[in-house]
Structure 1
Amino acid sequence: MINAVINKYQTIFSDQLLATDISIISMLLMLILISVIANYITKKIITVFFKKIVDKTKSQWDNIFYHCHVFSRLSHLIPILVFSVGSKMIFPADTYPLLLENIHKFTSLYLIFAFAFVIHSLLAAFDTIYRTFKMSKHRPINSYIQVLKIILWIFTVLASISLLLNKDLWALFLGMSGMMAIIMLVFKDTLLGLVAGMQITANDMLRLDDWLEMPSRGADGDVIDITLNTVKVRNWDKTITTIPTHALISESFKNWRGMSESGGRRIKRSISIDMRSVKFCDQEMLQSFMKIDLLKDYLLKKQQEIDTYNKETGNDLSNLVNGRRLTNIGTFRAYLSAYLRTNPKIHKQLTFMVRQLAPSSTGIPIEVYVFSNDQDWVNYEGIQADIFDHVLAVIPEFGLRVFQDPIGSDFENAFSRSADN
C-alpha cells in the first residue's frame, strides 16, 4: 500500500518535471526563433536603408564599408538584445537562476563573436580604403592587417574560453606561456612572413604592380598581392606564382621597377660581322657613302680631320697601313648611331651607345645599347625588331657581311663548285 502511494506520487512528480522541461524548451525555442526573425528583419532593413544612402553619396568610403559587410554584421546585436531581454521576462531570476546564468553566458559568447566579426570587417574596410591611396603601392599594410586579424581571433577565442570556464583572461595568458614554443612552431611561417614583410616595406624592396623576376621560384611578371605569408605574381603567360614572403629576404630576385621609373626600356642586342669583310674605305666607297643623308656631316667632318692629321704627320699614303683612314665597319657604326638618334622611339636622355665588342670565333659583335621610350612589352619588341630589320638589310651597303654558321646548302654549294673545277 505504501509502495503504491509512493509510486503514484513519483509518477505525478516526474510528469510535472517532464512537463516543466518541455515548457522551458518550448519557450527557449520560441525565443530563439524570435531572435532569428529579428536578426533577419534587421539585416534586411539595414541592407536596404544603407544601400540607398550609399548610392546617393559621392564618397567611396561608405561603399567600401557596405561591401565589407560592416553594417550587416552590426545587425547581430539585435538578436542578442531580444534574446537577453526576452529571457529575463520569461524566466524569473529567483525561479531559474541556473538557466539565466547559462543564457547570459550564451548571449555574452554571441556578443563576443559578433563584435569580433564587426572588427574583422572594419579592418578589411580600412585596408581597402588604404589601397585607394597612391602611397599604398609604396607602403602596403596588408600583412599588418592580417596580423591584427590573427591577434583579434586569438583574443576572441581566449575570451570565449575564459567565459565558458569562468577563468580570468589574464590567468589564461599566463597559462599559455608554457605553450609558447608550440605556438611559435605552429605560427613559424606567419612570424617569418611578418618579419620579412616589415623588412620589405621598410627597405622599399617590393611594391604592388612591380615587375618581379625570380627564376628560382618560376616567377616573372607583375606583383598583384603582398600578404603576410605569400606574394602573388601574375606571370606574362597569365599563370599565378605564389612565393613565400620570407623567400624574398633569403633568396635573390630582380625588381624591374627602376626600368619602369626611368621612362625607358633597354635594348641590348648585337650582330656579329664577318671579320673577312672588314676593310678600309676606298674613294668609290666614300662617294657611295656620301649619298647617305645620315652620313654626310659625319663623313665631311671625319675626312677633314683625317686629312689634317695625315698632312701634319707626312705619312706615305701610298701604303694603306700608313696614316689614318676610314673603315667600312667604323662608318657603319657611325651610320647606326645617327640612325638611332633620328628614331623617335628611342630615348635620347638615357644611355645611348653603339659599340664594338671583343672579336671571337663568331665574328665581330656590333652591339646596340639604347633604351626605347615605350615600356609596353609588345610595343618594345616591335621597336627592337624594326631596328634590327633595318640593320640586317643595310649591312651589305657598307661592304660587310653578317657572320652565320654554315648550313647544309653551304656545304652542298661548296662541293658542287669543287666538282665543277
Structure 2
Amino acid sequence: MNLEKRLADLICFFEEFFVAHGMNSTFALYLNLLINLLVLTLVIFGINYVLKHFIIETFKLFTNKTRTTFDDFLIKSNFPRYVGRFVPLFVIYKIFPLIFSEFHDVLEIFYFLFKIYVIILLIWIFRSILRSTRNYLKTRPEFNDKPLESFSQIIMIFIWIIGLMFIFSEITGKSVVGFAISLGAASAVILLIFKDTILGLVASIQVSVNDIVRIGDWITFEKFGADGTVTEINLATVRVQNWDNTYTTIPTYSLISDSFHNWRGMQESPGRRIKRSVFIKQNSVKFLDKDDLEKLKKIHLIAPYLDNRQAEIDKFNESNDIDKSLLINGRNQTNLGVFRKYADSYLREHSAVHKEMYLIVRHLAPTPNGIPLEILCFSKDKRWENYEYISADIFDHLIAAIPYFDLKLFEAPSGDDIRSFLGQKSDS
C-alpha cells in the first residue's frame, strides 16, 4: 500500500506543481495526464527492450547447454518474447489505473482491452508451443510419416474457438457457458459457413486414425492428376509432388470420399510386381515333330525339360497304341507350350526376379489380337528406374526369343505393310 501511495503521489506531482504555479486546474490535470502517459510509454518500451534481449539471450544460453533441440524451436517460434510481454503488461495493469483514477470510462475501456489482449497473448503462447512441438517431432524418425501439420491445425482451431468464446464473452457480457449455448442454437448457420473446414477436420482425423495416407507415400489420384509422393498433409489439403517435380493439391476430404491408389503396400513388400503380356499370333502355334524337338534341345534352359517331357509323352502314346503318323494323334508338345516353359525357366534363373514371391507364366483367353501370354513376377529392386530396367530387360529377351520357337508376335499392320501388300498384289 505504501508503494501504491507513493506512486499515486508521484503521478499527481506535475498536476500539483502546475496548479501551485497558477495554472488552471483542468489544464494542469490534462497536461499531467499527458506527461504521465509519455513517461509510462518510455518506461514500458525500456522494460520491453531490456526483457526481450535479456530473456532471449538467457534462453539461448540455456538451450546451448541442453542436448535436445526442442528449446531451439521455442526460440524460433518467439516463445521467450511472448512470455516476456507479461512483465510490461503487469506494470501497465498496476500504473494505468492510477494515472486515470479520475476517468472511470477510460478505465472500463482499459480493463476490457487488457483482458482481450491477455486472451490473445495466451493463444499466441500456446501456438508457439504447438509449432515448436510440431517442428521438433518432424526431426524424429518415428514421426516422419505422420500428418503433424494436420494435428496441429486441428488443435489450434479448438484453441482459437475457446479463445474467441472468451473474447465474445467479454464483449457481450455473457458467460462462456451462455455463449456456448447461443453458439449451439446457431449451429446450422455455422455448419453452412464452415462446411469445408469441418469436412477437412473430419477427413484429417479419419486419414490419421485409419492410416489411409502418410507423408512419403506414393499415391496416384487420376481425378486430380496427382501421381507422386505426399509431402504435406494439413487440415484442408494434401500436397503431392509429382514425378515431373510439379505439385498437386488435393482436398483432404477427397481422400475418404473418392478412390485413389496408394502404393505403400508395394513399397513395403519384398518386391514390386511385373505384370505384362506378349500377344502370340494364333496361326503360328503348332505341334512339334522330332526335328523341331532336336533343334529346341540346343536351348540349355529347356533341354532337360524336353527330354523328360518327351519321354513321358512317348511312353503314354506307346502304351495306348497311338498312331503317330499324324501329329494330332495322342499327346504332343507345342511350340507355345515349350516357349511358356522357357519363359518360366528364364525368370527363375534371372537374378533380379524375386524367387520367393509369385512367379507365373500363363495363357489368357484368346483375343482378336492373338493369344496373350502373361508374365507375372516380382522384381527384387523396387526403385522405379531399376524396376523399369528389369522389366524391359525381361521382355527384350523374351520378344527376341519368340522366333526361335517358330512363333510370331501379333502386330497391327502399319502403313508400310499395307503399301507393301498392295504393291505385291499389283505386280502379280
**Alpha-carbon contact 1:80-1:110 (below 8 Å) kept:** no
Deviations 1:171-201 (A, max 9, x none): 3333434322222222222222222233333
Deviation at 1:312? 2.2
Confirm whether residue 185 of structure 1 aligns to residue 192 of structure 2.
yes
Deviations 1:286-326 (A, max 9, x none): 22322222112222222222222222222111110012222
Aligned to 1:209: 216
Q: Which one-letter code corresponds to 1:45 in the other structure? A: F
In the aligned structure 2, how far is the partner of 1:117 from the partner of 1:23? 35
In the aligned structure 2, how far is the partner of 1:126 from the partner of 1:162? 30
The percentage of counterpart residues that share the same residue type is 38
In the aligned structure 2, how far is the partner of 1:75 from the partner of 1:287? 93
Aligned to 1:362: 369
Q: Note closer, same or farther for the CA distance 1:40–1:347 as it changes in structure 2 (3 Å cut).
A: farther
Deviations 1:67-101 (A, max 9, x none): 3332332222232133234436x6385x5555555
1:78 maps to which of 78, 84, 87: 87
Q: Which one-letter code corresponds to 2:249 in the other structure? A: T
In structure 1, the gaps of 5 or more residues are 1-11
3-state DSSP of counterpart to 2:265: helix
Confirm whether residue 115 of structure 1 aligns to residue 122 of structure 2.
yes
Deviations 1:151-179 (A, max 9, x none): 21222233234335554333333343432
3-state DSSP of counterpart to 1:293: coil
Q: Note closer, same or farther for the CA distance 1:25–1:170 as it changes in structure 2 (3 Å cut).
A: farther
Deviations 1:92-132 (A, max 9, x none): 85x55555554444433332221110111112223334444
Q: Note closer, same or farther for the CA distance 1:70–1:344 as it changes in structure 2 (3 Å cut).
A: farther
Confirm whether residue 91 of structure 1 aligns to residue 99 of structure 2.
yes
Q: Note closer, same or farther for the CA distance 1:276–1:75 as it changes in structure 2 (3 Å cut).
A: same
Q: Note closer, same or farther for the CA distance 1:354–1:165 as it changes in structure 2 (3 Å cut).
A: same
User: Structure 1 residues 324-333 or 286-295, which shifts more?
Assistant: 286-295
Q: Note closer, same or farther for the CA distance 1:15–1:306 as it changes in structure 2 (3 Å cut).
A: farther
In the aligned structure 1, how far is the partner of 2:25 from the partner of 2:152? 56
In the aligned structure 2, how far is the partner of 1:300 from the partner of 1:56? 78
- After the TM superposition, which residues 13-412 of structure 1 pair with which residues of structure 2 at under 5 Å, given as runs? 16-87=25-96, 91=99, 93=101, 95=102, 99-133=106-140, 136=143, 140=147, 142-164=149-171, 166-412=173-419
Q: Note closer, same or farther for the CA distance 1:341–1:181 as it changes in structure 2 (3 Å cut).
A: same
Q: Note closer, same or farther for the CA distance 1:278–1:119 as it changes in structure 2 (3 Å cut).
A: same
In the aligned structure 2, how far is the partner of 1:297 from the partner of 1:68? 72
What is the TM-score with the length of structure 1 in the denominator?
0.87
Aligned residues: 408
In the aligned structure 1, how far is the partner of 2:249 from the partner of 2:75? 30
In the aligned structure 1, how far is the partner of 2:188 from the partner of 2:331? 79
In the aligned structure 1, how far is the partner of 2:283 from the partner of 2:23? 116
3-state DSSP of counterpart to 2:91: helix
3-state DSSP of counterpart to 2:355: coil
Deviations 1:24-50 (A, max 9, x none): 234324423432343333233333333
In the aligned structure 2, how far is the partner of 1:123 from the partner of 1:142? 10
Deviation at 1:66? 2.9
Deviations 1:270-295 (A, max 9, x none): 11112222222233332232222211
In the aligned structure 2, how far is the partner of 1:55 from the partner of 1:228? 34
In the aligned structure 2, how far is the partner of 1:55 from the partner of 1:385? 54
In the aligned structure 2, how far is the partner of 1:343 from the partner of 1:13? 109
Q: Note closer, same or farther for the CA distance 1:223–1:163 as it changes in structure 2 (3 Å cut).
A: same
**Alpha-carbon contact 2:70-2:133 (below 8 Å) kept:** no
In the aligned structure 2, how far is the partner of 1:393 from the partner of 1:237? 32
**Alpha-carbon contact 1:144-1:194 (below 8 Å) kept:** no
